[in-house]
DNA sequence: TTCTACGTTGCATATAGAGCAACTAGTACA
DNA sequence: TGTACTAGTTGCTCTATATGCAACGTAGAA
């Protein structure tokens, strides 16, 4: 470890362990020690000992059949604590349940974290698009409806940072011009909702609206997402009213008093 | 750290970090460095540096208002991966949704982990008892209906270990005699379900049934839980049929073929 | 049967991490 | 307003830990 890293005053062996945990993904929920060694640039005995320590506290376990490591149930225990003490998570649950029942599409609550959208809650409809999103999933904020809502009500520095990171083209409708994105955000502030028509994922549309706290600050976004065959462009105006209303319902449960 | 711990071959600074994470609870979701120092027997500068490292990777954050630390969203990101790659979690979701809709009580999926019951999935009814359980919550296995189901279909060593840990009396109906517990487990194997009438929590009843995998092994339990005013003792026989059927539905989705 | 890859572990060494002390900031109390 | 106390941070030192290397064992593939 270089002196530069040392000056950072973070514990490098703890960082190793956390980087190992974060290397598990949806696509790769199982990991071999040798692969982690290669990916993270750590000696395989370092990885082996760190994994062993993580396993001793239940953060990972070695699958006896595949001999690979997977994330363990201590993660779930902690996530229950994270969820249960999030006001917006708790207050949104019944509203999302009703919305999903009425509209018939999957709905989410999300926030901006580290210049990304992260989904805090999700209620699936009866005919979900499999593996589209999941609680904890992170997505780019500039080409998802909830991300655009959150950016629209964020300060300029955050928007500039997202733009600086680059607006990668994920799909044919992805916004890649900074000026175009800023225009979109302006319109979103005016309309009170955002939509995404195949901006991020092929064949996937979504609509989102802001959730306010008791101070009137936008703290989260509520969104519905589904295939374009079911969330057709011509249905977006009527659906957006439902989404705005649901987001307002959650806001009111958060103590927000809308001014008429 | 003693030589004995050293022989354990676990990385002590990583263990410190994991113990700090695990010290967050439902009742104490916010932590001060000085409190952690006292609780964990670590120097406050050790705790401070470890927290700083955990924060740098998003596992905790310092609440600007309370100046205390809370669990961060990296936990949520990992838990999404844990959930999504659990077959029993995925396959149980629609069954739990239907069951909760039909019965009107909260339902769970749980497994045995480290001699405790841990809840993997939860679908809340429209009138939940607040803060009863949450995903990731751990409970003693000998006085919850799902725990008793899981013990009933576990090998004798596991049951003996639970008994050796002691059968603490949580409520007036808690089973505290080992022989009595073994009789209960035998009856559960015979009946195909378990119930708890205020064995663990005051005023709370529950019913659970086993979930089988494709090999016919019990891998989880499905349960419903509610206040005794709604889950009355005389309703348990009819409710248990619904719970057994729902658990069987999940089992079949897991590839289990029941022998007739 | 042999070879290769993976994971584990003994050992040596360099440095990271733990603890102490000093400092800063904030709060409570007189 | 001033003082005292507590909490948290950070510089510094020293020792024990963590890392990496090499060797070993095991399992699977050729």
Tell me if residue B198 falls in helix, strand or coil.
coil
The confidence band for A260, taking pLDDT boundaries of 50, 70 and 90, is: low
Taking CB atoms and an 8 Å limit, are A134 and B83 in contact across chains?
A: yes
| B164, two tokens | 């050796």
C-alpha distance from residue B108 to each of B80, B93, B251 (Å)? 17, 10, 14
**Nearest-CB residue to B17 (from A17, A26, A82):** A17
Taking CB atoms and an 8 Å limit, are B113 and A58 in contact across chains?
A: yes
- Length of chain B, in residues: 260
Interface of A with B in 78-107 (CB under 8 A): 78-85, 93-94, 97
Phi, psi values for residue B122, rounded to 5°: -150, 130
Task: Enter the CATH code of domain B86-253.
Answer: 3.30.450.40
User: Distance between CA B47 and CA B20 in Å, rounded?
Assistant: 8
- Number of Cβ within a 10 Å radius of residue B30: 15
- A86 contacts A108 by C-beta, under 8 angstroms: no
Nucleotide with C1' nearest the A53 CA: D18
Task: List pLDDT tens digits, range A1-58.
Answer: 333 344 467 999 999 999 999 999 999 999 999 999 999 999 999 999 999 999 999 9
Residue B58 forms contact with A (CB below 8 Å): yes
User: Distance between CA A228 and CA A127 in Å, rounded?
Assistant: 14
- B202 contacts B158 by C-beta, under 8 angstroms: no
Residue-level pLDDT at B111: 96
- Number of Cβ within a 10 Å radius of residue A160: 12
Which residues, including other chains, have CB under 8 Å from residue B28's CB and lie 6 or more apart?
A: none
The alpha-carbon gap from A194 to the nearest alpha carbon of chain B, in Å, equals 24
Residue-level pLDDT at A8: 60
Task: List pLDDT tens digits, range A188-201.
Answer: 999 999 999 999 99
- Say yes or no to pLDDT of A65 above 90: no
| A122, two tokens | 């999700």
Residue-level pLDDT at B134: 87
CA of B235 to C1' of C15 (A): 67
Given CATH 1.10.1610.10, say whether it is the number of domain A3-77.
no
Residue-level pLDDT at B184: 96
User: Distance between CA A76 and CA A88 in Å, rounded?
Assistant: 19
Residue-level pLDDT at A1: 37
User: Distance between CA B189 and CA B210 in Å, rounded?
Assistant: 9
pLDDT tens, N- to C-terminus, chain B (260 residues): 333 344 467 999 999 999 999 999 999 999 999 999 999 999 999 999 999 999 999 999 999 888 899 999 999 999 999 988 888 998 999 999 999 999 999 999 999 998 999 999 999 888 877 767 888 999 999 999 999 999 999 999 999 999 999 999 999 999 999 999 999 999 999 999 999 999 999 999 999 999 999 889 999 999 999 999 999 989 999 999 999 999 999 999 999 987 75
Tell me if residue A222 falls in helix, strand or coil.
strand
User: Distance between CA B46 and CA B44 in Å, rounded?
Assistant: 5
Residue B40 forms contact with A (CB below 8 Å): no
User: Distance between CA A62 and CA A41 in Å, rounded?
Assistant: 21
Q: What is the CA radius of gyration of chain B?
A: 20
C-alpha distance from residue A118 to each of A114, A143, B79, B80, B143 (Å)? 9, 13, 13, 11, 37
- A196 contacts A148 by C-beta, under 8 angstroms: yes
Task: List pLDDT tens digits, range A82-122.
Answer: 988 888 998 999 999 999 999 999 999 999 998 999 999 99
User: Distance between CA A48 and CA B234 in Å, rounded?
Assistant: 54
The residue of chain A with its CA nearest to that of B72 is A82
Helix (H) or strand (E) holding A147, with range, is: helix A145-152
- Say yes or no to pLDDT of A127 above 90: no
Q: Do the domains at B11-76 and B86-253 have one common CATH topology?
A: no
User: Distance between CA B257 and CA B260 in Å, rounded?
Assistant: 9
User: Distance between CA A88 and CA B18 in Å, rounded?
Assistant: 27
Task: Enter the CATH code of domain B11-76.
Answer: 1.10.10.10
CA of B59 to C1' of D25 (A): 37
Smallest Cα–Cα separation from B108: which of B10, B246, B202? B246
Chain A residues close to B14, C-beta within 8 Å: 13-14, 16-17, 50, 53-54
- A112 contacts A158 by C-beta, under 8 angstroms: yes
Name which of B75, B89, B100 to mutate to probe chain A: the one with the most chain A Cβ atoms within 10 A of its Cβ.
B75
User: Distance between CA B169 and CA A256 in Å, rounded?
Assistant: 44
Task: List pLDDT tens digits, range A129-163.
Answer: 776 788 899 999 999 999 999 999 999 999 999 99
Taking CB atoms and an 8 Å limit, are B77 and A138 in contact across chains?
A: yes
- A10 contacts B17 by C-beta, under 8 angstroms: no
In the DSSP assignment, the letter for residue A38 is H
Residue-level pLDDT at B115: 94
A14 touches strand C (CB under 7 A): yes
Smallest Cα–Cα separation from A75: which of A114, A20, A36, A122? A20
End-to-end Cα spacing for chain B: 58
User: Distance between CA B49 and CA A11 in Å, rounded?
Assistant: 7
Smallest Cα–Cα separation from A120: which of A83, A85, A150? A83
Domain boundary assignment for chain B: 11-76, 86-253
B45 touches strand D (CB under 7 A): yes
Residue-level pLDDT at A248: 97
User: Distance between CA A18 and CA B58 in Å, rounded?
Assistant: 9
Name which of A11, A87, A128 to mutate to probe chain B: the one with the most chain B Cβ atoms within 10 A of its Cβ.
A11
Residue-level pLDDT at A45: 95
Residue A46 forms contact with B (CB below 8 Å): no
- A109 contacts A221 by C-beta, under 8 angstroms: yes
Residue B48 forms contact with A (CB below 8 Å): no
In the DSSP assignment, the letter for residue B233 is G
């Amino acid at each position: 470890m270089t002196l530069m890293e040392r000056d950072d005053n973070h514990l490098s062996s703890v960082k190793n362990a956390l980087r190992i945990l974060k290397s598990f993904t949806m696509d790769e929920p199982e990991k071999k020690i040798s692969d982690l060694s290669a990916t993270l640039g750590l000696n395989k005995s370092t990885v082996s000992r760190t994994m062993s320590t993580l396993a001793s506290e239940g953060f990972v376990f070695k699958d006896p059949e595949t001999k690979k490591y997977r994330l363990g149930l201590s993660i779930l225990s902690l996530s229950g604590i994270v969820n249960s003490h999030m006001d917006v998570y708790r207050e949104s649950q019944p509203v999302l349940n009703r919305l999903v029942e009425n509209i018939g599409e999957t709905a989410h609550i999300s926030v901006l974290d580290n210049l990304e959208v992260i989904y805090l809650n999700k209620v699936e409809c009866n005919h979900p698009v499999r593996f589209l999103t999941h609680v904890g999933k992170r997505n780019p904020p500039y080409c998802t409806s909830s991300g655009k809502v959150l950016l629209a009500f964020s300060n300029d520095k955050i928007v500039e940072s997202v733009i600086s990171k680059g607006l990668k083209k994920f799909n044919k409708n992805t916004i890649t011009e900074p000026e175009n994105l800023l225009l979109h955000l302006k319109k979103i502030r005016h309309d009170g909702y955002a939509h995404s028509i195949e901006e991020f994922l092929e064949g996937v549309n979504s609509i989102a609206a802001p959730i306010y706290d008791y101070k009137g600050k936008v703290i989260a976004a509520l969104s519905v997402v589904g295939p374009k065959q079911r969330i057709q462009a011509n249905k977006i105006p009527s659906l957006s009213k439902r989404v705005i209303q649901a987001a307002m319902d959650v806001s009111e449960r958060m103590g927000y008093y809308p001014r008429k």
